[in-house]
Structure 1
Amino acid sequence: MSGRILTVAQQKGGSGKTTLAAHLAVALAGRSGEPVAILDVDPQGSLGTWFEAREENLGEAGTGLEFRTASGWGARREARSLARSHGYVVVDTAPKTDTDAKPAIDAADFVIVPVQPTPVDLWATSQTIDLAARESTPALLVLNRVPPRASLTGEMADAIAASGYDALNSRLGNRTVFASAMGKGLAVTEEAPSSKASLEVASLIDELVNRVG
């Protein structure tokens, strides 16, 4: 067995990277029926904090995920080791540091790049795209924290298309239920399965799986 390694990376902070990583892991586990692992290589440890809350809420046996941490070049080794026994490995990286992100990007089959729909965020994203290109890893942009009825979102979608970056059509809105679910160690698909946020995640996962296999 050799699973897919999906590294969530974004050099700019505040993109919702950890929230996206957690939701990808939960949704992939539910959709694929395969074991899924999450690997936290961000020194801030936000994904680990989320997983601890998940264990408290669901019990150690009920998380549906395996959790590991790694740092530096150990991230590449750990990700590849997990991929031998899991259908998917979702890796959360630190912002603003090539050194920590590079091994996780090198190990990945795909880099998932969350970007908020603002020009500044798109400009900053080029650093992450360039890093993925240097490691010969395909990158997929995901518009994240998208405000409702914002004309800028359409402009940003056009800007992404013009940039030549590969992006998923599915988007995740700027919804409070994401923060609420994360605080309990859950995903919105578990906290509010009939919500618009949950439907957005389901759409994203369908599109992502079709792309990455």
Structure 2
Amino acid sequence: MAGQVITVAQQKGGSGKTTLAAHLALGFRAEGKTVGLIDLDPQGSLGRWYMTRLEADESACERLEFATSSAWGISMEVRKMANACDVVVIDTPPKVDSDLRPALRVAHLVVVPISVGHMDLWATEGVMDLADRENKPVLLVLNRTRSGTRLGAEVMEAARQLGAPLAKAAVAQRVGYAEAMGHGRGAIEAKGPAREEISALVAEVAERLKPR
């Protein structure tokens, strides 16, 4: 059986898309899955993270496959990855145009991070529209949240009104995520609240991937 494909997409840059993609991959890997990562973003941040991880400790990349792709080649790359992996996670460029549609087309689930701010909410509508045209389910994820703030509460309430499921698990603003990514690691690989919130999110995503 071919692996399930998760496309992480958001029109606005700075939403934490690459960090979320890497941590979803590590979360599924922690459950014993073989995970494929595909970097579709010309910035190549996910690739840099993977190579940093590989150079530091090759064993840390066991059950983690990596590839880059262009928009036109994503279908072929996903087919290869899905035949070898249980889960495939695609990191996409921060834009919404015809180049994004092939990555949405191959997805079983489109995960859309919303960094806590109204501009991220506005940008989310474009991704949702494209996913709807491709008839793909969407899961919104609040990212870089700050608990107890009025803005955080406003954005959460507005996200609930967007017309797509909002994950119960949110990813908080933590220095640990950025520090870990800079060393080719993940905050989920250390004990603490980051591990708990990513594990909870992975459980929700896995539930959404189950055949209906």
TM-score bin, normalised by smaller chain? over 0.9
Query: Which segments of structure 1 move beyond 3 Å, counting only runs of 4 or more?
Result: none
Residue in 1 that maps onto 2:197 = 200
Residue in 1 that maps onto 2:60 = 62
Residue in 1 that maps onto 2:79 = 80
Deviation track 1:81-100 (CA, whole Å, cap 9, x = no partner) reads 21122110000000124233
Residue in 2 that maps onto 1:15 = 15
Instruction: Provide the rounded CA distance (Å) in 2 between the counterparts of 1:147 and 1:156.
Output: 11
List alignment gaps of at least 5 residues for structure 2: none
* SS of 1:100 mapped into structure 2: coil
- Tell me by how many angstroms 1:72 deviates: 1.8
Q: Contact 1:35–1:86 at 8 Å: present in 2 too?
A: yes
* SS of 2:66 mapped into structure 1: strand
2:99 is the counterpart of 1:100: yes
Instruction: Provide the rounded CA distance (Å) in 2 between the counterparts of 1:74 and 1:138.
Output: 22
Instruction: Provide the rounded CA distance (Å) in 2 between the counterparts of 1:97 and 1:156.
Output: 21
Q: Which amino acid in the other structure matches residue 67 of structure 1?
A: F
Deviation track 1:106-158 (CA, whole Å, cap 9, x = no partner) reads 10001000001222211111001111111111111000011232122222222
Tell me the TM-score normalized by structure 2: 0.94
Instruction: Provide the rounded CA distance (Å) in 1 between the counterparts of 2:104 and 2:204.
Output: 21
Deviation track 1:10-41 (CA, whole Å, cap 9, x = no partner) reads 0111100000000000111111x221100001
- Tell me by how many angstroms 1:162 deviates: 2.0
- Tell me by how many angstroms 1:196 deviates: 1.4
Residue in 1 that maps onto 2:165 = 166
Q: Which amino acid in the other structure matches residue 207 of structure 1?
A: E
Q: Percent identity over the alignment?
A: 44
Tell me the TM-score normalized by structure 1: 0.94
How many residue pairs get aligned? The number is 209
Residue in 2 that maps onto 1:139 = 138
* SS of 1:91 mapped into structure 2: strand
Instruction: Provide the rounded CA distance (Å) in 1 between the counterparts of 2:160 and 2:188.
Output: 29
Q: Which moved more, 1:9-18 or 1:151-160?
A: 151-160
Q: Which amino acid in the other structure matches residue 181 of structure 2?
A: M
Deviation track 1:148-199 (CA, whole Å, cap 9, x = no partner) reads 3212222222212222222111100010000000011111111x2x221121
2:30 is the counterpart of 1:27: no
List alignment gaps of at least 5 residues for structure 1: none
| Coordinate RMSD, CA, aligned | 1.2
